[in-house]
């Protein structure tokens, strides 16, 4: 995605997390563009959370110079 920033990805992730919380509380969610999400959209919400979480991780790694490390216990 051209021009996508970490801040934008974090904002989108926060929006989808808020939608997930609302749906778990039994509320419907209506976006500013008029789109409405209900319990039946929970799978789509989860997929978008995963997508934006991965984007945040990718963009965060790019910001850090592309260095990602996995630390394992040596025992």
Whether 73 is in a domain gets the answer no
Pairwise CA distance, residues 43 & 59, whole Å = 24
Whether 74 is in a domain gets the answer no
Whether 11 is in a domain gets the answer yes
Q: Tens digits of per-residue pLDDT, 21-73?
A: 999 999 999 999 999 999 999 999 999 999 999 999 999 988 776 555 555 66
Domain count, the chain: 1
Whether 44 is in a domain gets the answer yes
Are the C-beta atoms of 20 and 45 separated by less than 8 Å? yes
Whether 51 is in a domain gets the answer yes
**20 lies in which domain range?**
6-28+36-63
Q: Tens digits of per-residue pLDDT, 1-15?
A: 468 999 999 999 999
């Amino acid at each position: 995605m051209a021009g996508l920033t970490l801040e934008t990805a974090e904002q989108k992730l926060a929006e989808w997390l808020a939608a997930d919380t609302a749906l778990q509380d039994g509320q419907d969610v209506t976006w500013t563009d008029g789109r409405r999400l209900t319990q039946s959209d929970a799978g789509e919400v989860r997929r978008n959370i995963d997508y934006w979480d991965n984007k945040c991780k990718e963009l965060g790694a790019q910001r850090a110079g592309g260095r990602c490390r996995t630390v394992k216990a040596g025992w």
